[in-house]
Amino acid sequence: MKAIRTHVAGVDVHKEIIVITVLVGDADLEPAVHQFECSTFTEDLIKCGLKLKEYGVKEVVMESTAVYW
C-alpha cells in the first residue's frame, strides 16, 4: 500500500499507560515502525510529545475504549 502521510502516530490510551506507534517513511518505501510506552503522568506525557516531535510526527490518531482521555 502506498503511504499517503509520511510521519504519523497512533496512540492507544489505557488507564495507566499510553502505547504510541509511529510510522515514518518516504511515500515510495515501506515505513519504519517505532513503538514506545509512557505513563499517564504529566512529566511522561510531555516527554512523549517531545519524542513525537523528534520523529517529525505531524498527525496523530487516538484510540481508547474507556473514558481515560
Over residues 1-31, the pLDDT tens digits come to 566 788 999 999 998 999 999 999 887 788 8
What's the whole-number mean pLDDT along residues 22-46? 91
Sign of CA dihedral 60, 64, 68, 69: positive
Residue pair 41/48 in contact (Cβ under 8 Å)? The answer is no
What pTM value is reported for the model?
A: 0.84
Range(s) of the domain holding residue 40: 7-63
Structural domain tally of the chain? 1
- Confidence label for 68 from pLDDT (cuts 50, 70 and 90): low
Residue 57 falls inside a structural domain: yes
Residue 68 falls inside a structural domain: no
Please tell me which residue, 1 or 37, carries the higher pLDDT value: 37
Q: What Cα–Cα distance (Å) separates residue 11 from each residue in 6, 21, 29, 39?
A: 16, 7, 23, 12
Residue 2 falls inside a structural domain: no
Residue 69 falls inside a structural domain: no
C-alpha cell at 65: 475504549
- Alpha carbon of residue 29 to chain centroid: 20
Provide the CATH number for the domain around residue 49. 3.30.420.200
Residue 1 falls inside a structural domain: no
